[in-house]
Amino acid sequence: MDRYLVSQFELENPFPKIDISCYLEIFDKKNEYYITIVENGDCDRYILFLSFGVIEFEEDKIIFKDIRTGCDLVMTKVGKELFVNKGYYFMKNKCFIDRGKSNYSENYSMLDMKKECQRKIRKNNSYLNALNLNQIPLQLGDYKNGCVHIDLDIAFSYRIYYLVGKTKIYLSLGKWAKQGNKLLLQDLSLDCNFVYLIKNNYLYSIYSPNEINDTDRYSLDRLFPFIMR
């Protein structure tokens, strides 16, 4: 494996009273990054690759361009820390603390960014080509893919959360809208839309935070007595 230098950061107090951390790794020579959420314990467990992609620089801002969602996270360097100007709501007005540099990253060996990007393009094209032009009703309720959940309610509000045991870790809050057979979730903190395709009692992730697994399909886990046509 090629040698590389990794700048490592940890988000200050991301989830109060819960022993879960959020880490940022920047590959200095590649201008690539990973943001992960990790459950701490006797053996740390990676529970979510929240964001990964490439980095661009604009004046004093660092732009993190996420491959999976198509959204931009924005940070400003303040001394050795990175202040979050725009990110997921639990990052708001917080800093990533400098934890030093390393020439090893477990993330790098777990997730091949180039292959994941190619996989996403293939799957998105496949889903969009198979898009049903007939209107499909949207069943409101709680959908899940692994431990990632999407909660859609009658007030047009949504919540994306990660379920650890019985604890909900909220990743994104905002408003949802149905456009044909597409579901748009407007993240109020990132100021961008997550996109899903609607099928009978399923959602398929097009641009959204998701686990790294073999399926982009969210199954209906808990039914609400409302259907949006």
The predicted-structure confidence for 172-182, as pLDDT tens digits, reads as follows 999 999 999 99
| Rounded mean pLDDT, 62-66 | 96
| Rounded mean pLDDT, 157-177 | 90
The answer to whether residue 118 scores a pLDDT higher than 80 is no
CATH topology of domain 6-108: Lipocalin (2.40.128)
Architecture of domain 135-228 in this structure: Beta Barrel (2.40)
- Tokens coding 106: 């477990």
Domains 6-108 and 135-228 are alike in CATH topology: yes
- 25 vs 30, residue with greater confidence: 25
- Pick from 28-32, 44-48, 65-69, 94-98: least confident: 44-48
The answer to whether residue 47 scores a pLDDT higher than 90 is no
| pLDDT computed for residue 35 by the predictor | 94
149 close to 158: Cβ distance less than 8 angstroms: no
As a whole number of angstroms, the distance between CA 129 and CA 112 comes to 26
The answer to whether residue 44 scores a pLDDT higher than 60 is no
Looking at the chain, the whole-number percentage of residues with pLDDT higher than 90 is 49
pTM: 0.87
| pLDDT computed for residue 135 by the predictor | 85
Query: pLDDT band at 1, cuts 50/70/90?
Result: very low
- 124 vs 10, residue with greater confidence: 10
- Tokens coding 92: 């708001």
What are the boundaries of each domain within the chain? 6-108, 135-228
- 207 vs 131, residue with greater confidence: 207
| pLDDT computed for residue 19 by the predictor | 84
The tens digit of pLDDT for each residue in 69-79 reads: 999 999 999 99
As a whole number of angstroms, the distance between CA 116 and CA 229 comes to 34
| Rounded mean pLDDT, 50-64 | 93
| pLDDT computed for residue 107 by the predictor | 67
The answer to whether residue 111 scores a pLDDT higher than 60 is yes
| Rounded mean pLDDT, 161-176 | 88
Mean of pLDDT over the chain: 86
The answer to whether residue 46 scores a pLDDT higher than 70 is no
